[in-house]
Amino acid sequence: MSEILKKSGNTPTPHIGALKGDFAKTVLLPGDPLRAKYIADNYLNDAKQVTSVRNILGFTGMYKGKEISVMGTGMGMPSIGIYSYELFNFYDVDNLIRIGSAGSIREDVKVMDIVLAEGASTTSAWAEMYNLKGTFAPIASWELLYKAVKTAERLGSKTVVGNILSEDAFYNDDPDSYKEWQKMGIICLEMEAAALYMNAARCGKNALAMFTISDNVLTGESLSAEERQVGFGKMMELALEMQI
């Protein structure tokens, strides 16, 4: 019956081709849909594909007896803004954990290190839609952040916790703009977390963004596209083990 309803277009949103109940309460959100498939194929038992609209692949399966979902989001705040809002509001998801890549702007935070975003500063005007009379500080859910830190300790995985920067532009006309943020203690640069955190706050839900460093602006180190797709095993396992 579920497949018949999907084919008839009877789904809650035009962006996610799943029915209510198809997603677990916790969803991992890699930007790359193929990374979502990799996680489903290599870490989940009895994984079922629940959406493929616009090739944004989503799956639900079991990890060590716990139901969990994983779905790609694409790149940028407008994209993750749509998917996170719909997962929270139309699919009754409680926890969204972004598992992405980021560029380090600190010499001591190296390629393949894991960063947990306690806060997400931003160059985006995303918060303007809420008509706030001040500056909103997008922060992680303490419950998820604490759980991630304790799980990393249990696994023996080193993490760096702190403030990151969510940018609208990947290609910046000022190549040195990161220096102004660096002096404020920003760890790394990415493009999604601030919108995710603000949507979670507005919806009364939980969100956490974690990153594997894929390149370092200062040293020039960088991972290939294939390495980014399949080489983030420690971060994937951290996100999954948080559920146990």
168 noted as active-site residue: no
| CATH classification at residue 182 | 3.40.50.1580
- Amino acid identity of residue 41, one-letter, is D
DSSP E strands, 76-231: 95-104, 114-122, 159-166, 188-190, 206-216
Residue 42 contacts by C-beta under 8 Å, 6 or more apart in sequence? none
Q: Which residues contact 146 (CB under 8 A, 6 or more apart)?
A: none
d(CA 117, CA 150): 15
Over the chain (244 residues), what is each successive 10-residue block's mean pLDDT? 54 94 98 96 98 97 98 98 98 98 96 97 97 97 98 96 96 93 98 98 98 95 78 93 91
Neighbours of 1 (CB within 10 A): 6
3-state DSSP call for residue 148?
helix
What is the separation, in whole angstroms, between the first and last Cα of the chain? 32
Catalytic residue among 94, 168, 174, 215: 215
Tell me, what's the pLDDT at 9?
Answer: 60
Domain, as residue range, for 191: 2-241
How many independent structural domains does the chain possess?
A: 1
